[in-house]
Structure 1
Amino acid sequence: MTVKAISEGQKEKLTYYVFEDRDSMGRAAAADVAEQIVKLQREQSEIRMVFAAAPSQNEVLHYLTQDNRIEWERITAFHMDEYIGLHEEAPQLFQNFLKEKLFEKVPFKQIHLINSTNGEEVERYTRLFQERPIDIVCLGIGENGHIAFNDPPVADFQDEAIIKKVELEEACRQQQVNDGCFKGLEEVPLYALTLTIPALMSAKSMYCVVPGKTKTEAVRETLHGPIGTACPATILRTHDHAFLYLDGDSYGDEKDER
């Protein structure tokens, strides 16, 4: 069943859709991602995808795993960022989130996890990432406008790296508490490894899913603020094939002429 947006628009190259509720948003985003996967299945033998790990992605990941048109055994998966300093069984590790929600539910061809305990991980992951182009990135936007862990202080639209170590901004760390992933700010790691903005933007298609009232200001800046690292997600407006999925809470009450 096709889910219809209650509103949609265009900001530069970025197409955005607003849905009545979070479930509709996730269902619609998953349908569009699946359509792109099916299209690519007809054109190439392997598909390379990057997935975000966050509660905001729950619905889209759920509906993707339910789509029986997807030939998962032809998909190589990456995840886009990972904390440094958590033990390997920690539920907050992004790879453990993705294992539970996605990687252990469907039979991928390959899954490349970021091992943040490996001192040579930047070099290893860079090699894997650069083997072939990335077809699809599924991502979200942070409360401070970050994409992956590219917070405003470390975001670089001309970054020469594929993956790098970053210090997490306090607003980003507080979001992890707000999302219920940690009990308090003191538990949230100070550092992480993240794919850089040029690495993410190299994907042929980007599907960005952003629900919730805590994201309203970030969405407003993404759509209507100046393109720059003060709100890293504004870079999505320059991508040739990027789509933003919102619910009523994240879009807010203002009109398109904001």
Structure 2
Amino acid sequence: MGRKAAHDIAVEIRTRLAHAAAMRMIFAAAPSQAEMIEALIAEPDIDWRRITAFHMDEYIGLPAGAPQRFAVWLRERLFDRVPFAAVHSILPEGDPHAAASRYAALLDAAPIDIVCLGIGVNGHIAFNDPPVADFADPQDVKIVELDEVCRQQQVDDDCFPDLAAVPEQAVTLTIPRLLRAERLFCVVPGAHKCVAVGNALHGPITTDCPASVLRRHPDCTLYLDAESDPDA
């Protein structure tokens, strides 16, 4: 699944760079993305020097070098391993609201070509959990309270030792900001995601399952394995 997704993403990157001087991508940071990222790095003939990278969410309250920080996770697995033109990290220290505004401005400087994302156990995309998800959100980047299902997922993914260690707030790109990207690649492995995937594919389009809104995007591809596929 990861290799197939990486191959398709690489084809899209090469196609876009054949017709444009540069492009911009947003990446999710999660164990579910690790196999795809590793395979993407191995893909040949990608001119990373013409790609600017962003990520889609970040915890508030963790030390700058904490391994659970999404910017750190992506730096170790991707950002420091290929020569991007630029990497813009969400830095919530000091005033998170000001950080969100700065990041929104960076994102708004030019169109986003590709988003590589996943789906959470509660159906979230980025950190748009059901209680805070808004399909008509007026903001591009905002501060959110993380719900307990989302925080428990971080423990179950072995990112934190227990629930108390998981931050309660984060900075996230909003759903309209993600959906304005031209091309979405959504990679969702694992049996623990099967219910959320089923709701996203076959349930109503509702913030009760934020990922259901992906069905409204004109060019989104979903990658599943046998365990996450509700129709397998």
TM-score bucket of the superposed structures, by smaller chain: over 0.9
TM-score after normalising by structure 1: 0.88
Partner of 1:250: 228
Measured after TM superposition, the shift of residue 228 of structure 1 is: 0.9
Amino acid of the structure 2 residue aligned with 1:80: M
Measured after TM superposition, the shift of residue 209 of structure 1 is: 0.2
Measured after TM superposition, the shift of residue 59 of structure 1 is: 0.7
Matching of residues 33-182 of structure 1 within 5 Å: 33-119=9-95, 120-182=98-160
State how far apart, in whole Å, the 1-side matches of 2:220 and 2:2 are. 16
Deviations 1:107-138 (A, max 9, x none): 00000000011412112111100000100000
State how far apart, in whole Å, the 1-side matches of 2:214 and 2:111 are. 18
State how far apart, in whole Å, the 1-side matches of 2:181 and 2:13 are. 13
Residue number among 195, 207, 228 corresponding to 2:173 in the alignment = 195
State how far apart, in whole Å, the 1-side matches of 2:220 and 2:101 are. 28
Measured after TM superposition, the shift of residue 89 of structure 1 is: 1.2
State how far apart, in whole Å, the 2-side matches of 1:223 and 1:27 are. 22
Amino acid of the structure 2 residue aligned with 1:66: A
Deviations 1:191-246 (A, max 9, x none): 00000000000000000000001101001101001001000000110111000000
Partner of 2:184: 206
TM-score after normalising by structure 2: 0.98
SS in structure 2 at match of 1:77: strand
State how far apart, in whole Å, the 2-side matches of 1:196 and 1:78 are. 14
Runs of 4+ in 1 over 2 A off after TM superposition: none
Give yes or no for the alignment of 1:27 onto 2:3: yes
Structure 1: where are the runs of 5+ without partners? 1-24
Partner of 1:8: none
Amino acid of the structure 1 residue aligned with 2:64: E
Aligned-residue Cα RMSD (Å) equals 0.8
* Identical residues among aligned pairs (%): 54
State how far apart, in whole Å, the 2-side matches of 1:239 and 1:171 are. 26
SS in structure 2 at match of 1:133: coil
Task: Answer 1 or 2: higher relative contact order, Cα 8 Å, separation at least 6.
Answer: 1
Number of matched pairs: 230
Amino acid of the structure 1 residue aligned with 2:6: A
SS in structure 2 at match of 1:32: helix
SS in structure 2 at match of 1:248: coil
State how far apart, in whole Å, the 1-side matches of 2:149 and 2:158 are. 14
State how far apart, in whole Å, the 2-side matches of 1:133 and 1:156 are. 21
State how far apart, in whole Å, the 2-side matches of 1:122 and 1:101 are. 24
State how far apart, in whole Å, the 2-side matches of 1:69 and 1:249 are. 32
Amino acid of the structure 2 residue aligned with 1:41: L
State how far apart, in whole Å, the 1-side matches of 2:94 and 2:117 are. 25
